[in-house]
Amino acid sequence: MKMIILLAVLAISMGTSALSEEEPYIEAGKRMAEANCANCHNIMAGGAFKLYPPSFQAIAIYMDPQVMRMKIMFPDHAVLMPQFHTYMFAENIDNIVGYILSLDQ
């Protein structure tokens, strides 16, 4: 378990460069969100604010990007949210975070 957490932290810290060239990553993040997140979260711009699960619009406004990355990898509600740390790559996480951040623009 410690190894998984260490690998996740390393992947998250190394994967932030993808956000500098925004547009392709935002589109890729939106596609990933539609495939993996939309069943529970409201992922669209202007989505209604709700606490559980939070809308991406609310996350964009109130959550720090590094916290977003950690919550994707290790969600608080692990029983309900898929364990993305088993297959999510740093670039995929950056894409989703980039898409979420684009909702606050």
pLDDT digits (tens, 9 = 90+) for 72-104: 887 776 567 766 666 677 888 899 999 999 998
Q: Name the 3-class secondary structure at 54.
A: strand
Please report, to the nearest 10 degrees, the dihedral formed by the alpha carbons of residues 41, 42, 48, 51 taken in order. 10
pLDDT digits (tens, 9 = 90+) for 58-69: 999 989 999 998
pTM assigned to the model: 0.71
Please tell me the class of the 2-102 domain: mainly alpha
